[in-house]
A and B are shown apart, each in its own frame.
Chain A
Amino acid sequence: MDAPELDSIEMELFVQALQKRHGHDFTQYAPASLKRRVHLLVDQLECKTITGLTERMLHEPAMLPRVLEGLTVPMSDMFRDPAMFLALREQVFPLLASYPQINIWQAGCAHGQEVYSLAILLEEAGLYERTQIFATDLSDRALQRASEGIYPAQEAQQWSRNYQAAGGRRSLADYCSAGYKLLKLNQRLRRNVTFAVHNLATDGVFCEAHLILCRNVLIYFSNTLQNRALSLFRDSLVRAGFLCLGVRENIDRSPIAQAFVPFSEPQRIYRLASHLDDIAE
């Protein structure tokens, strides 16, 4: 048996062990990326093989958070894909403005960069006071970081450029205090944010949302799991509610996708179709 085949067996056992020992279900993740991350963990933790990693994960309780962090990679940026945030500001917010109370669910919020980005946009649009943001992620460590809102200062330049390109009206510096190495987002920005653990693979509907952002999370899922997450979004959205995915995501393979009509195709902003004739349009 050659190395890649052995590798697949070890991967399967690792995923099973993670599920049986700790209850975390990665069985429906897209294999190529998951395997890559597992191998990175094997290297970082200096285990010789995936089986070596499995053993440590089973026997050393302290390993679990480390493994989860390695498997989820909470990587994000402020105002990533500025054109998408510009579209939110110019096209979606004016429609949300008609609701007396706005609920936004941000699924897979990682270290929170997008949460603060959204809060800033809402603030500038005068909508933040009546908005509630639910920011969720699988990883409680990531959520902890998200609530702190502290990031490496070296990101500031790129993020400011993104903010301007997203139609920012002020200066990003107005929203954070920057030191030599770190910058901290103004904590007033999270006054209407609730951080909570939620797993898109296993948990259910928990709110009624006018807008859901779930960017660059479903790319790690198999078609089956992508479909599950999309049905969760469908069931969580109000009539004609909005869904934003990452700019390179493709939902054509998902049967549930027909519940959504493109609102801005290039920015991957969709709207829940309320009637079948909406779909036909």
Chain B
Amino acid sequence: MTTPAAIAIGCSAGGVDALMTLLGALDARLRQSVLVCCHRSDAMDILGDVLGRMSVLPVIEAVERQPVQAGVVHLAPSGYHLLVESDLHFALSADPRVNYSRPSIDVLFCSAAEVWRQALIGVILTGANADGAAGLQRIRELGGVAIVQSPTDAEATAMPQAALDMAGADYCLPLPDIAPLLNRLCLGSL
């Protein structure tokens, strides 16, 4: 298997708690870039701080034209779609909402899939709509790995269920098992 270069995570309702659990259990040695798209209201500008306190890896908001960094969690800013250019820099878009969402998980996942292909892991966590399903499908089409939180374990089932229905998954697990799996996939037997 190709060593993963990046992990893209999508979630909405219940997502902040889920992210705290997941990011808090990642291995500090990870050198993968982590990209997070979490639907939120514009008022939730403190998301970065909240997650930063729990996360093992540093959390920063993705800035347009800046490089994607290794071993860093990049948050999609509110009000814009986040995309990755093939030269591994971030781009933003003010295009209309996709699945009622901006940032949209589909937009992030599709652009990341093109950039990293087999070296990308896509993760769909709890959420209340179908955003992310098409993106996860694109990730799988291009050879990446798909992880979906078990709908029965998720605070909101719609998003993981839609992802499973449309894209299927390589792994479907309860939340506490996802970070250990990511650590294993990324660090191998290290």
**Interface residues in chain A, defined as those with a beta carbon under 8 Å from any beta carbon in chain B:** 3-4, 30-33, 36-37, 73, 75, 81, 216, 219-220, 223, 226, 246-250, 252-253
Contacts and interface: CB of A to CB of B under 8 A. Distances in A.
Given A32-B85, A249-B64, A250-B66, A219 B94 contact: yes
B80 A248 contact: yes
A30 B91 contact: yes
A32 B77 contact: no
Contacts of B111: 32, 36
B65 A252 contact: yes
A75 B86 contact: no
Max chain B Cβ within 10 angstroms of own Cβ: one of A3, A32, A216: A32
B64 A32 contact: no
Interface string B112-148: 0010010000000000000000000000001000000
Interface in B46-88: 63-66, 77, 79-80, 83-86
B96 interface: yes
B85 A31 contact: yes
Contact of B65 (A4, A36, A223): A223
Interface in B22-62: none
Interface of B is mostly: loop
Contact of B95 (A75, A81, A248, A249): A75
A4 to B, nearest CB: 5
Contacts of A81: 79
A219 B117 contact: no
Contacts of A247: 79
Contacts of B84: 32
Nearest to B107: A36
A73 B95 contact: yes
B145 to A, nearest CB: 17
Nearest to B83: A32
A36 B110 contact: yes
B20 interface: no
The 8 closest A-B pairs by CB, nearest first: A32-B83, A216-B94, A33-B93, A219-B92, A253-B65, A30-B91, A250-B64, A32-B111
A133 to B, nearest CB: 21
